[in-house]
Amino acid sequence: MSLLSWTIPEGFTRKLLRGEKPQLLIQGDAIDPITTGNALSALVQVAKSMFQHDLPGDMRVVQKEDDFELIIHRMFNPEGITQFNTIPGIMGSILSTTLILMTALSITRERENGALENLLVSPLSGLEVIIGKITPFVIIGLFQATLILIAAVLLFDIPLHGSVFLLFFVLLIYVFLCLSIGIGISGLAQNQLQALQMSSFYFIPSIMLSGFISPFISMPDWAKAIGSCLPLTYFIRLVKGIMLKGYSATALLPDLLPLIGLAVIVIGVGLKSYRKTLD
């Protein structure tokens, strides 16, 4: 749904002219309480003044604040709890930071100390080496995500309205995405310092332009274009959609499909980069 919407019931104008004080419903996605609060304040002012000059001739009325009743429905976060908006972003940021750094630094360190040469003389194929390398990190990533989810639900009272299976499916895709980014960085970096610097170049725009720090809808077009290419953008939306809104996979397709598409591209590039490193 859109951030805010309003519903004008049938017969609203007739009741307004009769002085019957009709109701006007304003509802919105209140997961981000600050953004929604500002938007609601602006919309309420519009609603209070919208009829002052719209009625022609003898039907023109001088509107008072109590001419109609505003019913405000804050959806998904009626109490305006800030943690509802921040926990999904924190989860994605922690996963991306730890997994990308661990993968990039680990592979770069092995290349520096000659461990990769030992793998080259082993009977293992390149695919087997890659699977053996990323499997521990996948387990670590899912373990991290599980701990964060438990803390979110038990300590911060974040609801989980949607499917746990769908949530872990999204987490698994995101974990593989982060690992692939780390593998790609390790293929470009010549040493661990370069790997650390390249990882930082990814983290900063990812956190700033994903909608975690500031609302995505209020960003300029160039920032939205960059943010639309970042996995964290879709991860935050998907986690909010599953945990807070209880959306099904069908309702999440506009964000799920881009995340899967990014995963296919990034995983392919990461595997190609690692195979090139082995060669």
> Which has the closest alpha carbon to 206: 84, 91, 92?
92
Predicted local confidence at residue 50, as pLDDT: 66
Same domain, 135 and 221: yes
Query: DSSP 3-state assignment of 50?
Result: coil
Same domain, 174 and 210: yes
Same domain, 18 and 35: yes
Q: Looking at 75, 92, 117, which one is the last position of a domain?
A: 75
pLDDT tens digits, one per residue of 94-139: 999 999 999 999 888 888 887 666 766 667 666 677 777 888 999 9
Same domain, 169 and 122: yes
Residue 7 has pLDDT above 60, yes or no: yes
What span, in angstroms and rounded, lies between the C-alpha atoms of 167 and 142? 11
Mean pLDDT over all residues of the chain? 83
Same domain, 146 and 198: yes
Residue 232 has pLDDT above 60, yes or no: yes
Question: What is the domain count for the chain?
Answer: 2
Same domain, 128 and 51: no
Q: Return the higher-pLDDT residue of 178 and 14.
A: 178
Other C-beta atoms lying within 10 Å of the C-beta of residue 18: 10
Q: Looking at 47, 75, 103, which one is the last position of a domain?
A: 75
State pTM to two decimals. Answer: 0.83
Same domain, 69 and 110: no
Same domain, 36 and 170: no
Same domain, 177 and 219: yes
pLDDT tens digits, one per residue of 179-231: 989 988 888 888 899 999 999 999 999 999 998 888 888 889 999 999 999 99
Same domain, 49 and 151: no
Same domain, 156 and 226: yes
How does residue 2 score in pLDDT terms, banded at 50, 70 and 90?
A: low
> Which has the closest alpha carbon to 187: 108, 85, 264, 263?
108
Q: Looking at 56, 75, 94, which one is the last position of a domain?
A: 75
Predicted local confidence at residue 63, as pLDDT: 47
Q: Which pair of tokens denotes residue 133?
A: 């390398």
Query: DSSP 3-state assignment of 72?
Result: strand
Same domain, 168 and 226: yes
Tell me which residue range forms the domain holding 94.
83-278
